[in-house]
Amino acid sequence: MTDPRLLAHAALEQSSVVANNAMNRERGLSGVNSYTRDLGFDPFALLSSRLPAAVSWVDVCCGSGRALLEAEARFAAELPDADVTLLGIDLVGYFQSSPRTSRLRLRTASAHDWHPAHPAHPADLVTCVHGLHYIGDKLALLTTMAGWLTPGGTLAAHFDPGSIRHRDGSSAARHVLAEFRGAGVEYDSRRHLVTARGPAAPRFPATYLGADDTAGPGYTGQPAVTSHYDW
């Protein structure tokens, strides 16, 4: 890496911008400050609509896991016989509580390194709610998450195209959005939300160089990470 600002994954995950225990702490499943509000759909309703087949939800950068814990409680109360798997991954692992049933697993892991234990069993829903702001190789993670989807499954991830930069720091947003269009991936600029339906396979002709944790606030107003690539 030629630019000293650009951090590799291990150094980035030690940054106070990334390894914080405040991100996604209070966001629940539904209500004013919730996944339903931020995503524009109710994850519980989406999963319920795919029953009675087995359904699964993977939430990357799940924070405290509050939304998953509330989904676990709703399934236990309303659909106790449903075959549901809920999985949350978070770098910090500062979870609100432990799972109450075997339906839910909460894992402390790097989003860069984690992979499903059973890749032959893909997910009906994959979410990353305001988590990509803190990821280094955002494009690789988007590609990976899309690859976890079942046919007809849903990927929903908040994303800022302006956080993708060329080596010299200039915006690469135009390249990213063009690749989205070519892969059938949708981007809602009002919600800052990437959505895709499985099977989806976005591919980006770019080489990751590293991330800058000194870029300042993103569209949320909180400090965020810019990701730099050669295209």
Concatenating the DSSP letter of every residue in 115-178 gives --S-TTS-EEEEEESS-GGG-SSHHHHHHHHHTTEEEEEEEEEE--GGGEEETTS-B-HHHHHH
Counting the structural domains of the chain, the total is: 1
Per-chain mean pLDDT for the chain: 92
Least confident of 20-24, 57-61, 165-169: 20-24
pLDDT digits (tens, 9 = 90+) for 185-219: 999 999 999 999 988 888 899 999 999 999 999 89
pLDDT at res. 102: 95
The tokens for 72 are 């676990």
Residue 3 located in a structural domain: no
158 pLDDT more than 90: yes
Q: How far apart are CA 214 and CA 28, in angstroms?
A: 29
Residue 144 located in a structural domain: yes
57 pLDDT more than 80: yes
* Contacts for 168 with CB less than 8 Å, ≥ 6 apart: none
Nearest of 159, 210, 167, 230 to residue 11 by alpha carbon: 210
pLDDT at res. 25: 80
Q: Domain containing 76 — which CATH number?
A: 3.40.50.150
pLDDT at res. 73: 98
Residue 68 located in a structural domain: yes
Residue 221 located in a structural domain: no
pLDDT at res. 24: 73
Residue 227 located in a structural domain: no
Residue 171 located in a structural domain: yes
CB 31 within 8 A of CB 60: no
Tell me which residue range forms the domain holding 188: 21-205
The alpha carbon of residue 99 and the mean position of all alpha carbons in its chain are separated, in whole angstroms, by: 20
Q: State what percent of residues in the chain have pLDDT above 90.
A: 78
* Contacts for 45 with CB less than 8 Å, ≥ 6 apart: none
Q: How far apart are CA 30 and CA 37, in angstroms?
A: 7
What global pTM score does this model have? 0.94
22 pLDDT more than 90: no
pLDDT at res. 117: 66
Residue 220 located in a structural domain: no
Residue 229 located in a structural domain: no
pLDDT at res. 195: 97
pLDDT at res. 1: 43
pLDDT digits (tens, 9 = 90+) for 94-151: 899 999 999 999 999 999 888 776 555 689 999 999 999 999 999 999 999 999 999 9
